[in-house]
Amino acid sequence: MKVLWGLGKGLALLFWVVVAINIVKPMINPFDLLISLAGSLLFLTHLLELLLFNRSLQGRPSPWRDRLYILLLGILHIQTLPKSPGQDNSHA
């Protein structure tokens, strides 16, 4: 499973590289708008995830680095965070 999370993180970072290149040197007409729109929507989604999971970052050793990773990678970084000892998975 760690391989899949790592592959997803690599693809997400590649996407952000494409968005950054598109900002510096825009691509041809329909693609520059689509890449900018997809990048802004993904950034807003990651910002919403950051707001939702902000409370779980309070006890982390470096919460600001985790917040930056959530802005870049979103749920792919949240899934790799260790579970806090207060969380219990039993449903009984």
- CA pair distance 3, 73, nearest whole angstrom: 15
The pLDDT confidence band at residue 15, using thresholds 50, 70 and 90, is very high
Q: Tell me, what's the pLDDT at 62?
A: 87
Q: Tens of pLDDT along 55-65?
A: 888 888 888 99
Residues 29-74 pLDDT 10s: 889 999 999 999 999 999 999 999 888 888 888 889 989 999 999 8
Q: How many CA atoms within 13 Å lie on the side-chain side of 22? A: 20
| Structural domain spans, the chain | 2-77
Residue with tokens 């760690």: 2
Closest CA to 67 of 82, 83, 80, 49: 49
% of the chain with per-residue pLDDT over 90? 46
